[in-house]
Structure 1
Amino acid sequence: MYNFLRGKGIVLNEPSVVAIDKNTNSILAVGNQARKMVGRTPGNIIALRPLKDGVIADFQVTEAMLKYFLSQLKLKGLFAKPRILICCPTNITSVEQNAIRDAAIKCGGKKVFMEAEPKVAAIGAGMDIYQPSGNMVIDIGGGTSDIAVLSMGDIVTSASIKVAGDKFDMEILQYIKREYKLLIGDRTAEEIKINIGTVFPGARNEEMDIRGRDLVTGLPRTITIKSAEVERALREPISEVVQAAKNVLERTPPELSADIIDKGIILTGGGALLNGIDKLLAEELKVPVHVAENPMDCVANGTGILLESIDKIQGRKLV
């Protein structure tokens, strides 16, 4: 969860995790504090993500989380009820849009605007999407991967799939469970992905010791996993991202396709940092692929750029 404050830039960057006491139904921690509790809590406390696959999975917890993040900004006076711009996947339904908008209003938003995530990511990556020219962006976040071709300030063709960072972590976890009969947590799976993970065969040759619970004996055990194994574990979900990108390119008008060949595709989101993903996409799509500068911040920065001109666009529907 990023918060971008007009005139100040990114002022808050915390994970969308909430820790709840099931006995009292009260919220114990939000953001970084709650993330530290994932997989390490007693039975009465659960650490959960109220936003799943880019949409709200738990309305009440999402509302409480947004209230907490807004309170951290310490807004006063005229800014106590701010105008809010929220990014969402391209395939979001009107019901899901309304749920997000209602949650933002209930947590203190004066007026809520919504915009498609790949469009905002492209703006944040420095792409000039307002010219009559084709621009393609692949935004790989935590819950969804959004692919879009943009021209004249709007989306021409797009796709959104529920395969992204969280799915990659789950595939690594399942691989280790299947191959080594070892149970690890979500955080360990994420550390493996970041530290030794790759999606391009031979691009990385590292290894890492990991600890977990042996499913046979029930006792703690340490194993060593290599980059090549992570590549095998991620092969299937990555192929889904590649296929989605191919589908978008197949539906793109030929003149815009020519522009994309010249400019290349821009990768944004945390998934853009996955080792070898730019090489793999370039090889599969036959188009140059470039990782944006600070890819994790592209959506937040793009939101800020749009926020600066919100007075000009608030009269029209953004999504």
Structure 2
Amino acid sequence: MGIFNGFSNDIGIDLGTCNTLVYIRGKGIVANEPSVVAVERGTKKVVAVGEEAKRMLWKTPGDIIAIRPLRDGVIADLETTEKMIRYFIAKVLPRRLFVKPRMVIGVPSCITEVEKRAVEESALKAGAREVEVIEESLAAAIGANIPIHEPAGHMVVDIGGGTSEISVISLNGMVVTNAIRLGGDEFDESIIKYVRQTHNLIIGERTAEELKVNIGNATPDKSIEKMEIKGTDAITGLPRRLEIDSVEVREALQEPINAIIEEIKKTLGETPPELAADIVERGIVMTGGGSLLKGLDTLISNETGVPAFKAEQPLNCVAIGAGMYFEAAQQSQKEKSNYNSINV
């Protein structure tokens, strides 16, 4: 294998429910597009992938269907996922490359062995030479430059589109990990549900996401922000406008946010005391798109009594960490053999 390494591209993939990110060692993030594939209804022929396919979501003519092949961080449609991975690899790697890439894919720890094998199979069929499937929070920790090889406790909270994963990592391993199939998608669904129940207005996922990103918050803000949205009146069926404020959005998000905080508290409760002491000192590192919700880090700090802060590139951590995994594993092996030789 060593002979290939000079020519090989190590690719890290964050196969997300909402977005797929691809990282190539030495080049950085080379693709970041929605995990959506548009196919012809009868033939399943791919019409578009990523950004172009997302624009078709809910707006396609009868003969074209836009599919999100991943649900809650796992593969719901194996064939379409394979086509999507193949598309991203073809997009980021030159055709003349004669050595197949090594690929590391970050997946939620709550997926089953069958689902894990489905991810590996998709990547191998899409052109990988070697595939390693690792937990998202381990990848996120590597991508956030956390020294995971140290004999100290580090807590990572990765809030993705379909799952949230809370892990305590020490000496390159997961000491405690809990994952729930709840993430940014549930934030959007909670907003849709609230707007319908409170204002009799039906809105789509895109509008809910805009509300979350623009005026969403987890803790009360000094100023109340407002935003105008458009939707369909649930009673008359006619289009209608509505002004909604940040207080209502916060109320709508309470349930999924509380569920994530409860999971963090549960994980802290399961952490060995020595490692818990390290976490209190070092804080909780937050990654994933959901961590960008305004005030969420403050709320987690207040609720747990442990400092919480966002990683430098929360959206990219899993892809970067996956791409650096082989390097990190090599480094830790080196350190382990140095340690053993000193102690002989």
Fold match by TM threshold 0.5: yes
Structure 1 spans left out of the alignment, 5+ residues? 315-319
1:216 maps to 235
What code does the residue aligned with 1:242 have?
Answer: I
Is the counterpart of residue 305 in structure 1 residue 305 in structure 2? no
2:337 maps to none
2:10 maps to none
Q: Structure 1 residues 175, 161: closer, same or farther in 2, change over 3 A? A: same
Is the counterpart of residue 289 in structure 1 residue 295 in structure 2? no
What code does the residue aligned with 1:182 have?
Answer: L
SS of equivalent to 1:84:
strand
2:49 maps to 30
Give 1:174 deviation, angstroms: 1.1
Q: Structure 1 residues 36, 78: closer, same or farther in 2, change over 3 A? A: closer
Q: Is the 8 A contact 2:149 2:332 kept in 1?
A: no
Q: Structure 1 residues 242, 148: closer, same or farther in 2, change over 3 A? A: same
Q: Structure 1 residues 311, 137: closer, same or farther in 2, change over 3 A? A: closer
Match of 1:164 among 183, 191, 216: 183
- Give the stretch that moved more between structures: 26-35 or 77-86: 77-86
- Give the stretch that moved more between structures: 302-311 or 37-46: 302-311
Q: How far, CA to CA, are the matches of 1:98 and 1:126 in structure 2?
A: 28
- Give the stretch that moved more between structures: 138-147 or 173-182: 173-182
Is the counterpart of residue 266 in structure 1 residue 285 in structure 2? yes
Is the counterpart of residue 71 in structure 1 residue 113 in structure 2? no
2:162 maps to 143
Q: Structure 1 residues 83, 313: closer, same or farther in 2, change over 3 A? A: farther
Aligned runs of 1:197-212 on 2, under 5 Å?
Answer: 197-202=216-221, 205-212=224-231
Q: How far, CA to CA, are the matches of 1:250 and 1:241 in structure 2?
A: 14
- Give the stretch that moved more between structures: 143-152 or 212-221: 212-221
- Give the stretch that moved more between structures: 80-89 or 149-158: 80-89
Match of 2:61 among 42, 46, 52: 42
Residue-by-residue CA offset, 1:76-105 (whole Å, 9 max, x unaligned)? 455552111111111221111111101111
Residue-by-residue CA offset, 1:251-310 (whole Å, 9 max, x unaligned)? 000011111111110110111110110011011111001111121011112122214456
Q: Is the 8 A contact 1:181 1:216 kept in 2?
A: yes
Q: How far, CA to CA, are the matches of 1:184 and 1:192 in structure 2?
A: 11
Q: Structure 1 residues 203, 156: closer, same or farther in 2, change over 3 A? A: farther
2:26 maps to 7
2:249 maps to 230
Q: How far, CA to CA, are the matches of 2:310 and 2:93 in structure 1?
A: 34
What code does the residue aligned with 2:159 have?
Answer: I
Q: How far, CA to CA, are the matches of 1:26 and 1:76 in structure 2?
A: 22
Give 1:137 deviation, angstroms: 0.7
SS of equivalent to 1:212:
strand
Q: How far, CA to CA, are the matches of 1:223 and 1:10 in structure 2?
A: 38
- Give the stretch that moved more between structures: 14-23 or 132-141: 14-23
Q: CA RMSD in A?
A: 1.7
TM-score normalised by length of structure 2: 0.87
What code does the residue aligned with 1:125 have?
Answer: A
Query: How many correspondences in the alignment?
Result: 314
- Give the stretch that moved more between structures: 168-177 or 304-313: 304-313
Q: Is the 8 A contact 1:39 1:185 kept in 2?
A: no
Q: Structure 1 residues 203, 306: closer, same or farther in 2, change over 3 A? A: farther
- Give the stretch that moved more between structures: 146-155 or 304-313: 304-313
Is the counterpart of residue 254 in structure 1 residue 273 in structure 2? yes
Q: How far, CA to CA, are the matches of 1:221 and 1:250 in structure 2?
A: 47
1:317 maps to none
2:142 maps to 123
Q: Is the 8 A contact 1:204 1:228 kept in 2?
A: no
- Give the stretch that moved more between structures: 104-113 or 195-204: 195-204
TM-score normalised by length of structure 1: 0.94
Q: Structure 1 residues 141, 49: closer, same or farther in 2, change over 3 A? A: same
What code does the residue aligned with 2:37 have?
Answer: V
Structure 2 spans left out of the alignment, 5+ residues? 1-19, 334-344
What code does the residue aligned with 2:50 have?
Answer: G
- The runs of at least 4 aligned residues of structure 1 exceeding 6 Å deviation read 310-314
Q: How far, CA to CA, are the matches of 2:200 and 2:63 in structure 1?
A: 28
1:244 maps to 263
